[in-house]
Amino acid sequence: MTYPFAIHCLTDNFSWLVADAKQNALVVDPGESKAVKQVITERGLHLTHILVTHYHFDHIGGVAELSADTGAEVWAPQDTISPTHKTLAGGDKLDVCGYQMEVIDTPGHAFNHISLFFPALEALFCGDVLFTLGCGRLFDGTAQEMWSSLKKLRNLPPQTLVCSGHDYTTANLKFINSLKGLGREGIDTITKLETTRKDARDNKQPVLGVGLPTRIGDEICANPFLLADDSDFLKANGISKTAGVESFAEIRRRKDIF
Ligand SMILES: [Fe+2]
């Protein structure tokens, strides 16, 4: 099987599973235990690590039960769950399940949000910072923090898989289609995503999760929040704010009321 593997939890959350050749597994952001347990049981995996990007309930709902049932270690940002977890912070590099993991501080959606980059897997687990064609709302962070976080993620290798915590792609496609000024690569990315999801609908499959994950390179050319310093995109959409954080805040404001 291919990893990272997306596990649908709750309404539109996705936890991400990775396993090594010895069948040891890690899971990122288990919003519930039942869905994760089902997958690890079916595949005969041994859960050794539970990783968390931020404290919101829909990302940690399954942590306590999974940890108790499997003995898996819990790694999370400071002040996330309880005093029992091990703490991750930006700049940390450690081996998890035989893979090197790099921790990136990505506040903006949550004050202590982190993202987890696995170079060997070419995979980024970014919770609620970066979504397919979107980004998280600013709950307890600022536009400046979120813009800085997005720029860090944008600098990862373009082939990096963007493994987000939710699938909001349907709503995000509507928003990007209301905007103008995408380049040829961006338009192609949108068309590819729409086609993939339409094919699933036509074959009577659930659309949620279809097309996840995208890659950083797709997001760079098609995600409106990553285009907040693209002067052509800003001009095409009548955004006269300064390129960068001010324009990012304006695009976020427009999406919030869309
Ligand atoms: Fe969240």
**Which residue stretches of the chain have pLDDT < 50?**
none
Place of tokens 């919770």: 127
pLDDT of residue 80: 79
pTM for this entry: 0.96
Enumerate residues 6+ apart whose C-beta is below 8 A from 78. 87, 89, 112
pLDDT of residue 81: 77
CA 168 to ligand 1 center in whole angstroms: 13
Exposed, middle or buried: residue 21 (CB in 10 Å: 0-12, 13-18, 19+)?
exposed
CA 17 to ligand 1 center in whole angstroms: 19
Q: Assign domain 5-164 to its CATH architecture.
A: 4-Layer Sandwich (3.60)
Exposed, middle or buried: residue 188 (CB in 10 Å: 0-12, 13-18, 19+)?
middle
CA 232 to ligand 1 center in whole angstroms: 31
Sign of CA dihedral 172, 136, 118, 83: negative
CA 83 to ligand 1 center in whole angstroms: 20
Report the chain's terminal Cα–Cα distance, integer Å: 38
Enumerate residues 6+ apart whose C-beta is below 8 A from 138. 108, 109, 146, 252
Give kind and range of the element (H or E) at residue 24.
strand 24-28
pLDDT of residue 79: 81
- Ranges of CATH 3.60.15.10 domains, the chain: 5-164
Burial 169-179 (b: 16+ CB within 10 A, else e): beebbebbeeb
CA 54 to ligand 1 center in whole angstroms: 7
pLDDT of residue 180: 97
pLDDT of residue 84: 74
pLDDT of residue 92: 98
